[in-house]
Amino acid sequence: MKKNSDLLSKLLQKFSSMLPWSVALICMPLIQTSYASEPQPWQWNFQPPATPVMEQIIDFHNLMFFVEVGIVLLVLGLMVYIVVKFNSKANPKPTKTTHNTTLEVLWTVIPIVILIIFAVPSMKLLFFMEKAQNPEMTLKVTGNQWYWSYQYPDNGNFEFDSNIIPDEDIKPGQRRLLEVDNQVVLPVNTEIKVLLTARDVMHNWAVPAFGIKIDTIPGRINETWMKVTKIGTYYGQCSELCGVAHSRMPISVKVVSKEDFKKWLKKAKSEFASSDNNKMLKLAQLKK
């Protein structure tokens, strides 16, 4: 119970200090000004796409969005009309209509047609995401509590961990909760096979700008592919509840030109331990 009264006083303190923050935020510009590979304040749309998959996701979503907004506005319009025309003062005598076959057929068939209109691009997108590629390299991603490890089996078979840069070490210009010590470096315009697994509990590797989001499940390898078409740095966050630091295991991918990638590989091979002698193994207690 002591915890609760601590909570309560902290709550009250926070409330009184929140006011200036709130005012500041409201005054911030409401229009998104620049495209970047990270979330922007007041962003209400997807992060700009950096892969053909994400471009297709956005296109398909836009189709659905406009139709759905239309449906919502239609229902709203009908309800406004009802309020105006059929309130008890405007219409004292109710009708007895309980059937209208035409209407019933229309509002069954038209939604079916709309769903078919959605289903076609939906299936196209799904199968495009699945299309077997000719990957030029492989990236292996492993989820841990609470960091990611990356292995490059085709390019020197080295492995490294990617830990969050904690709040207290964040420098100005860096993004809190998104920066890591070792980024994943990948070449642009290259088809990459991604293998994913986890070492302890379920995690999920996600990069919004890529349109990638796959569960990493212990005891199982998942596979997907990606091809990033824009040089830049891209951020994502773990997307499956994995314990106390679930909010603190970000993903940071640096996509560089193919030449820069080769240069980085050389450095990385010597800097990062070979997968053969990898990781500090903690002598964990056995379950029994």
Partner 1 sequence: MSNITHDHHDHRPSGWKRWAYSTNHKDIGTMYLVLSMFAAIIGGAASMLMRAELHEPGIQFITDPQFYNVLVTAHGFIMVFFVVMPALIGGFGNWFIPLMIGTPDMAFPRMNNVSFWLVAAALILLVIAGFIDGGAGTGWTVYPPLSSADYHPGMAVDFGILALHLAGASSILGAINFITTIINMRAPGMTFHRMPLFIWAMLLTAFLLLLAIPVLAGALTMLLTDRNFGTAFFAPDGGGDPVLWQHLFWFFGHPEVYIMILPAFGIISEIVSTFSKKPIFGYLGMAYAMTSIGVVGFVVWAHHMYTMGFNVETRAYFTLATMVIAVPTGIKIFSWLATMWGGSIKFDTPMLYSMGFIFLFVVGGVTGVTLANAGVDMAFHDTYFVVAHFHYVLSISALFSMYAGFYYWFGKMSGKRYPEWLGRLQFWVTFVGVNLLFFPQHFAGMAGMPRRIIDYPDAYAGWNMISSWGAYISAVGGILFFVVLYKTLTSNVKAEANEWGVGATTLEWTVDSPAPFHTHEVTPNIIPEPAE
Partner 2 sequence: MELKKQKSTTRVGDGVVNMRKKSSRNGLTAVVLGFLVFSMIGLAYASEPLYRIFCQVTGYGGTTRIAVFDNKGLVAKNSITVRFDANVNKLLPWRFKPMQNKITLRPGEQAIAFYEATNVSDKPIVGTAVFNVAPFKVGEYFNKIECFCFTEQILLPGQTVQMPVTFFVDSSIAEDRNTKEVSTITLSYTFYASDDQSEVENLSRTSLEIKKSVDSLRRTQIIQPG
DSSP-derived secondary structure for 127-180: HHHH-----SEEEEEEEETTEEEEEETTTT-EEEEE-B--GGGPPTTS-TTT-B
Rule CB under 8 A: which of 81-110 touch partner 1?
Answer: 82-83, 86-88, 91-100, 103-104, 107-108
The DSSP bridge pattern shows strands 184-187 and 192-198 to be unpaired
State the binding partner of 254 from partner 1, partner 2, none, CB within 5 to 8 A by kind: none
Instruction: Read off the DSSP letter of residue 88.
Output: T
Of 35, 39, 266, 271, which one interacts with partner 1 (CB under 8 A)? 39
State the binding partner of 57 from partner 2, partner 1, none, CB within 5 to 8 A by kind: partner 1
State the binding partner of 199 from partner 1, partner 2, none, CB within 5 to 8 A by kind: partner 2
Of 40, 182, 233, 278, which one interacts with partner 1 (CB under 8 A)? 40
Instruction: Read off the DSSP letter of residue 209.
Output: G
Rule CB under 8 A: which of 221-260 touch partner 1?
Answer: 222-223, 235-248
**75-78 contacts: CB < 8 A, separation 24 or more?**
none
Dihedrals φ, ψ of 41, to 5°?
Answer: -55, 135
CA distance 50 to 47: 9
Rule CB under 8 A: which of 189-228 touch partner 1?
Answer: 196, 200-202, 204, 206, 208, 211-215, 217-220, 222-223
Binding residues vs partner 2 (CB under 8 A): 132, 134-135, 138, 140, 142, 144-145, 153-154, 157, 193, 195, 197, 199-200, 218-223, 275-276, 278, 281-288
The DSSP bridge pattern shows strands 192-198 and 137-144 to be parallel
Query: CB 285 → partner 2: shortest distance, Å?
Result: 8
Query: CB 61 → partner 1: shortest distance, Å?
Result: 5
CA end-to-end distance (rounded Å), the chain: 35
- Residue 206, SS3 per DSSP: strand
State the binding partner of 154 from partner 2, partner 1, none, CB within 5 to 8 A by kind: partner 2
Query: CB 143 → partner 2: shortest distance, Å?
Result: 11
Q: What are the angstrom distances between the C-alpha of 168 and each of 90, 183, 250?
A: 65, 19, 16
Sign of CA dihedral 36, 39, 41, 43: positive
State the binding partner of 193 from partner 1, partner 2, none, CB within 5 to 8 A by kind: partner 2
Rule CB under 8 A: which of 256-285 touch partner 1?
Answer: none
Query: CB 274 → partner 1: shortest distance, Å?
Result: 27
Q: Which is nearer to partner 1, 87 or 274 (CB)?
A: 87
Instruction: Read off the DSSP letter of residue 184.
Output: E
Query: CB 80 → partner 2: shortest distance, Å?
Result: 29
Query: CB 122 → partner 2: shortest distance, Å?
Result: 20
